[in-house]
Amino acid sequence: MKKVYIQTCFEIIISLLFAYTAIEKLVHFSTFQIQFAKIPFVFATKTWFFSYFILLLEASIPILLLFDRFKKIGGWVSTILLSIFTSYLISKVIFNDNSECSCGGVFNSISIEHHIILNVVFLFLSIAIVNFNYQQQRVK
């Protein structure tokens, strides 16, 4: 019984994170696209596609985590996105890239090191969601 509450708590936290980031990107979409275009491995011709694709994925995660049928997919999508974002931030530290992060809101006001720590915590929560869903699937 406690696992269900923990899982629900993790799902709410991840849902709030991605709802916040999606809304922040949507509200400041032109700024997000400009900052996103400055990422070295994003080709300028693909900026439009990737910026909409990331926004769509971020907005879909809270919706996927609402329904039992789609929780596993939501957990995987959040895990993959957080892995990519965390890897990107780590690469910025490794390569001493001082360019602006395309992250918005509160995340722009913290150091990149703190941002990485937060992302790792959220990544572990996403992995736990995936794990909870696999355990539930085995029980059924």
Q: What is the mean pLDDT of residues 57-77?
A: 95
Q: Closest Cα to residue 14, out of 129, 132, 101?
A: 129
| Count of structural domains, the chain | 1
pLDDT for 65 equals 96
Over residues 54-67, mean pLDDT: 95
Confidence bin at 3 (pLDDT 50/70/90):
confident
Measured N-to-C along each axis, helices 2-27 and 47-64 cross at an angle, to the nearest 10 degrees, of: 150
At residue 43, the pLDDT reads: 63
Distance CA 74, CA 19 (A): 13
Query: Which range marks the domain in which residue 39 is found?
Result: 2-139
Taking 70 as the threshold, does the pLDDT of residue 77 lie above it? yes
Give tens-digit pLDDT for 86-132: 998 898 888 877 766 666 667 777 888 899 999 999 999 999 999 99
pLDDT band with cut points at 50, 70 and 90 for residue 44? low
pLDDT band at 73 (very low <50, low <70, confident <90, very high): very high
Q: What is the pTM of this model?
A: 0.87
Picking from 80, 53, 73, 56, the residue whose alpha carbon sits closest to that of residue 11 is: 73
Cβ atoms of 50 and 36 within 8 Å: the answer is: yes
Average predicted confidence (pLDDT) for the chain:
87
